[in-house]
Chains A and B, each alone.
Chain A
């Protein structure tokens, strides 16, 4: 018994430093941000007078923030749907044990090795609408050259497209990653299961529909969590590619937070945006944590 306690003590001592560090630099700072979001600190110098939820109620009156929330919703939905569809499609294709599979796998995965800044700059050029004087460039020029000029558009400079143009870049970068997740999932499904289904007379479509896809559900949930938390706090891609855009059509909460904090000196307002983003991510992640904790127990 004494031995066990001592072991526990040692184990605790070993993790203590990381507990302290994580507590200080993550949870304490979250708490500090939460406190700042309820103060009057809307100038360069700190003013820690408590004002309750006033910053929040003010924030929701700002039209820019309303647009931002809407943009986040559009971005997250389209981004997750597209990544999962494309990722799953590519994974199923690669799973057919084709020749040169590893080459294709690498090609699809490569975009993930870039930072969002690089992706943003590249797609800014590709989707550049060009101008009346200089003619079209990027993808618009391609459309011109192959006789599909009617497909030309203003892309991210068109307020009706706005954030959806950013989705294209984000999907390009992360659908390969989703593919890798699904591919691993597919490889984890025992071959006997497919064989058994085939013996029972299932067509290939039926095999996927009734056997494989249900077994991939945990992968899908994992993918939604990972992609979702990326998209809810996206900043660098937007900053490099478009900025806030026309009428804030490509603006996101994180960009507004940066603008209002470091350009407008409204630290309290910036902190309240940060807390709202934290809550949004929390809504997505916490049920998953509970879900996986329960599964581990079972």
Chain B
């Protein structure tokens, strides 16, 4: 008799618990992103799986728009947001792309309460917290961190010619000269998509200006007329002499083939290259930082936020909690090939590069990437990208610097 009573009470209790856990969470959740292929799509699915286990009654709608760096997705998102039909949550680069485009304009709801409840403000470094913050509130949850200022090299080529990875610009060009005389392409680059050159140039700016000087470019503390900007342009111009001649026909990963085949030696590209090498089953690569970038972490981050007027607010809050959780950050980043924004995730299951990257994330100075939306508003970043893309074709230092000054003025930063 007693046994039955215990059983009944237990049953009721567990029933109650289960209904409590799923209270109110049903219906749909629409997640908008440009993660359609490879590791990033797998990462997104891993997040969906975690979410689905916790809230089986919520139907997830995976709204993706294909296109690298989100160029097409952002246009679609804009029409939806301005038209009053926001997706429940959307992928956005943390930093000015988030703040200038969506927060200042009043499209988002702050998620500071989640940071307090979950303690995220204690486990993420200030470098990332500062760029998702505006007027004392947090506005999105960063899922991952990528590093932009990495120089990848072919171990085989470096060993063959007895080269040590360069640290300064002088070393770098000495290595280039040596490799060129041996008939190896010193730097491989693909400029087909328009943004890659801007990406490499950003690391050159960091190299000549340092962390504070580079950050100042986006706030007005450093003028674009600064002679160190001229110097960066001249160094970049010099570097173009050592680049594969067919760069304009290739995307960055097509150019990376040179490295895999040992026909090219070095490539400056973000650390998604690491994931790409793994996918190509290539492990003969080494890494160091772009010249002059010692101790600086050029970061970009994908994040998700809470749009005002989204249809399933509670579901979104649950989603953001999954994104910020240790488990979510680990499962996603292992697949995407990036590091968690949280510094307390166990990194032992990540590969060697990512482990070293995570160490730097804890100690380096963090600066925001411009070409990937963190450092400047979209309008400014677009003009910066155009100016550098033109520079690759025309190689005119004066004109390019003038265009860069004008872009800053357009963005309302006095020069």
Which residues in A have their C-beta under 8 angstroms from that of B248? Answer: 154, 157-159, 246
Which residues in B have their C-beta under 8 angstroms from that of A176? Answer: none
> Contact at B383–A247, with CB atoms within 8 Å?
no
With contacts defined as CB atoms under 8 Å apart, how many contacts are there between chain A and chain B in the complex?
90
> Contact at A157–B101, with CB atoms within 8 Å?
no
A58 and chain B: residue at smallest CB distance: B410
> Contact at B379–A247, with CB atoms within 8 Å?
no
Contact of B379 among A42, A132, A243 (CB under 8 A): A42
> Contact at B393–A44, with CB atoms within 8 Å?
no
Which residues in A have their C-beta under 8 angstroms from that of B377? Answer: 43, 265
> Contact at A265–B379, with CB atoms within 8 Å?
yes
> Contact at B192–A264, with CB atoms within 8 Å?
no
Would you give the 0/1 interface string for B377-415, flagging 1 where the beta carbon is closer than 8 Å to chain A?
A: 111001100100110111000010001001000100000
Q: How far is the CB of A174 from chain B (nearest CB, A)?
A: 27
Q: How far is the CB of B308 from chain A (nearest CB, A)?
A: 14
Contact of B390 among A58, A61, A248 (CB under 8 A): A248
Would you give the 0/1 interface string for A250-294, flagging 1 where the beta carbon is closer than 8 Å to chain B?
A: 000000001110111110000000000000000000000000000
Q: A45-B105, A247-B392 known; A262 and B249 CB under 8 Å?
A: no
Q: Is the interface of B mostly helix, strand, loop or mixed?
A: helix
> Contact at B386–A247, with CB atoms within 8 Å?
no
Q: Answer whether residue A244 sits at the interface, using C-beta atoms and an 8 A cutoff.
A: yes
> Contact at B75–A131, with CB atoms within 8 Å?
no
Q: Answer whether residue A129 sits at the interface, using C-beta atoms and an 8 A cutoff.
A: yes
Contact of B246 among A64, A132, A159, A260 (CB under 8 A): A132
Tally A residues with Cβ within 8 Å of B: 31
- With A and B bound together, what is the CA distance between A62 and B410 in angstroms? 12
> Contact at A157–B410, with CB atoms within 8 Å?
no
Which residues in A have their C-beta under 8 angstroms from that of B393? Answer: 159, 246-249
Would you give the 0/1 interface string for B102-130, flagging 1 where the beta carbon is closer than 8 Å to chain A?
A: 10011100000000000000000000000
> Contact at A129–B410, with CB atoms within 8 Å?
no
> Contact at A63–B71, with CB atoms within 8 Å?
no
> Contact at A247–B105, with CB atoms within 8 Å?
no
Which residues in B have their C-beta under 8 angstroms from that of A247? Answer: 389-390, 392-394
Q: Answer whether residue A205 sits at the interface, using C-beta atoms and an 8 A cutoff.
A: no
Q: A246-B392, A264-B382, A266-B379 known; A44 and B78 CB under 8 Å?
A: yes
Which residues in A have their C-beta under 8 angstroms from that of B386? Answer: 64, 248
Which residues in A have their C-beta under 8 angstroms from that of B180? Answer: none
Chain B residues 243 to 267 lying within 8 A of chain A, measured CB to CB, are 244, 246, 248-250, 254, 257-258, 261, 263
Closest 10 CB pairs of A and B: A247-B393, A264-B382, A157-B249, A246-B248, A262-B75, A264-B379, A45-B105, A133-B257, A44-B105, A129-B249
Interface residues of B (CB under 8 A from A): 71, 74-75, 78-79, 82, 100-102, 105-107, 191-194, 244, 246, 248-250, 254, 257-258, 261, 263, 377-379, 382-383, 386, 389-390, 392-394, 399, 403, 406, 410
5 more A-B residue pairs beyond the given contacts A264-B383, A265-B378, with a C-beta to C-beta distance below 8 A: A43-B105, A61-B406, A247-B389, A247-B393, A265-B377
